[in-house]
Structure 1
Amino acid sequence: MKFTGTPRIIFFLVILVLNIIADQATKSMMRAHIGYYDQYFFFNNHVTLLRVENTGAFLSLGAKLVQPFRFILITLLPAIALLGALFYSITKKGLGNLMVTGIVFCIGGGMGNLYDRIVRGSVTDFVHLKFGPLQTGIFNAADVSIMIGFGLILLNAFLRRNDDQKAENTVIEDHSVEL
């Protein structure tokens, strides 16, 4: 079942708003309860909660850029990209539910981080994962939303590719029967 028209827009907006609310609520809790130098370890030190204010983008990229370049690269261009993705998702016909959901998760996470960057001047990150030699950068709920969104988009592409291959095989089998 594909959402179309008003139900699609309502679905889109509800998922978008829930992503932003979850992101802002978790960041607010971290700012209220975790000091800058505090660290809390969980699950045999595999999960660490700590508070970092990231003035750059992903993994602090661009944090040392001078103005106006930093504003353009980590605030203005992402805002334009998010608005473009929002417009695309609402107006593009034929996008499946999985693809739309993935795009909405990416936009919601992006908007959560962009809001922080505009209002606070930095993005609050607070989770670090480490499993043996593998570890993440410090991230937040908006980053998780973006990763879930990209995962759903990739899953959609994989499923569509499989559907296209099945349809192609069916067409080939149909033509071979006629010979």
Structure 2
Amino acid sequence: MKYLPLYLMAMAVIILDQITKWTVLAKFHDFERLNIIPNFFDLTLVYNYGAAFSFLANHSGWQKYFFIVLAFVISGWLANSVRKGEFGKLGNFAAAMIIGGAFGNVIDRFIHGKVVDFILVYYQDWYYPAFNVADSFICVGVALLIIDGIKQAKKAKQAA
């Protein structure tokens, strides 16, 4: 019961991520783009066989299993750290965001063999690599986890 809000947060991330991906898959053809904000934001359907910024995407397929295992290992470490009380409230919330995002992408790897991406941010000739809702929660979660780590370090220093 103590961790119920964190489980619910992680599940909400997974559900939101999968709903958005299935919606895009149902409405778009591969590489189709829909301009939302001119010269800034499009929806598009692309796939990532690797990780962030297509890291390891051009390999023979072993990376799919590597990233699945990595998601389980990192999620297990985060869940154990939450259980042991190593994070503050913000860190616990961040861990749930990261776990939910990681498993949103793991589901894609199991179902599609790759991650579905659809958010494209750009300006003129500059493009940020396409990403998805899970990626967004992972990035925000990591930033919040860093902030929590700084807060926890300050508390520990003050207590010493």
Instruction: Work out whether the TM-score is over 0.5.
Output: yes
Pairwise mapping of residues 152-167 of structure 1 onto structure 2 (< 5 A)? 152-163=144-155, 167=158
Displacement of 1:53 after TM fit?
1.7
User: Against the structure 1 CA distance between its residues 19 and 158, is the aligned structure 2 distance closer, same or farther, given a 3 Å change threshold?
Assistant: same
Aligned to 2:89: 97
Say whether 1:83 aligns with 2:106: no
Secondary structure in 1 matching 2:66: helix
Residues 62, 74 of structure 1: 8 Å contact kept? no
* Structure 2 Cα separation of the partners of residues 79 and 164 of structure 1: 30
TM-score by length of 2: 0.87
Write the mapping of 1:1-179 to structure 2, written as runs, cut at 5 A. Answer: 6-7=1-2, 9-67=3-61, 69-89=62-82, 91-93=83-85, 95-131=87-123, 135-163=127-155, 167=158
> How big is the alpha-carbon RMSD for the aligned residues of Structure 1 and Structure 2?
2.2
Q: Which runs of 5 or more structure 1 residues have no equivalent in the other structure?
A: 1-5, 172-179
Identity %, equivalent residues: 23
User: In 1, are the aligned partners of 2:105 and 2:134 still within 8 Å (CA)?
Assistant: yes
The 10-residue stretch of structure 1 (153-162 or 124-133) with the greater mean CA deviation from structure 2: 153-162
Cα distance change, pair 102–52 in 1 and its aligned pair in 2 (3 A):
same
TM-score of the superposition, structure 1-length normalised? 0.79
More deviation, 127-136/99-108: 127-136
Shift of 1:140: 0.1
What is the CA distance between 1:79 and its match in structure 2?
Answer: 2.2
Per-residue CA shift, 1:93-115, capped at 9, x if unaligned? 25311010011111110010011
* 1:71 CA displacement: 3.9
Give deviations 1:109-160, integer Å, cap 9, x for gaps.
Answer: 0010011101211111001112456541100000000011012112213334
- Higher Cα Rg, which structure: 1
CA contact 1:47–1:130 (8 Å) conserved in 2: yes
Distance 1:139 1:88, change over 3 A: same
CA contact (8 A) 1:54 1:60 kept: yes
Q: Secondary structure at the match of 2:57?
A: coil
In the alignment, which residue of structure 2 is the partner of 1:177? none
- Whole-angstrom distance in 1 between the partners of 2:54 and 2:32: 20
